[in-house]
Amino acid sequence: MLFKLILVFILFPFIELALLVKLGTLVGLWYTLALCLSTGIAGAALARWQGLEVINKIKQNINSGRIPEQELFDGVCILVGGIVLLTPGLLSDAMGLLILIPSTRKVFQIYLKRSLEKRMGIIDVS
Gap between the Cα atoms of 31 and 25, Å rounded: 10
Assigned domain for 12 exists = yes
Selection from 85, 70, 4 nearest residue 39 by Cα: 85
CA 20 to CA 29: how far, in whole Å? 9
Note the pLDDT tens digit of each residue in 50-81: 999 999 999 999 999 999 988 988 999 999 99
Please report whether residue 125 resides in a domain. no
Residue 114 has pLDDT above 90, yes or no: no
Q: What is the pLDDT of residue 18?
A: 92
Reported confidence tier of residue 88, pLDDT bands at 50, 70, 90: confident
Decide if pLDDT at 24 tops 70.
yes
Note whether residue 62 is domain-resident.
yes
Is the pLDDT confidence value at 87 over 70? yes
Q: Which residues contact 125 (CB under 8 A, 6 or more apart)?
A: 114, 118
Torsion of CA 55, 56, 57, 60, to 10 degrees: 120
For residue 11, what pLDDT is reported?
86
pLDDT over 70, % of the chain: 96
Total of domains in the chain: 1
In a domain, 90, yes or no: yes
In a domain, 35, yes or no: yes
Domain that holds residue 7: 2-120
Does residue 126 lie within any of the structural domains? no
> Mean pLDDT across the stretch 30-52?
89
Residue 48 is assigned to a structural domain of this protein: yes
Amino acid at 84: V
Claim: this prediction has a pTM higher than 0.85 = no
Inside any domain, residue 44: yes
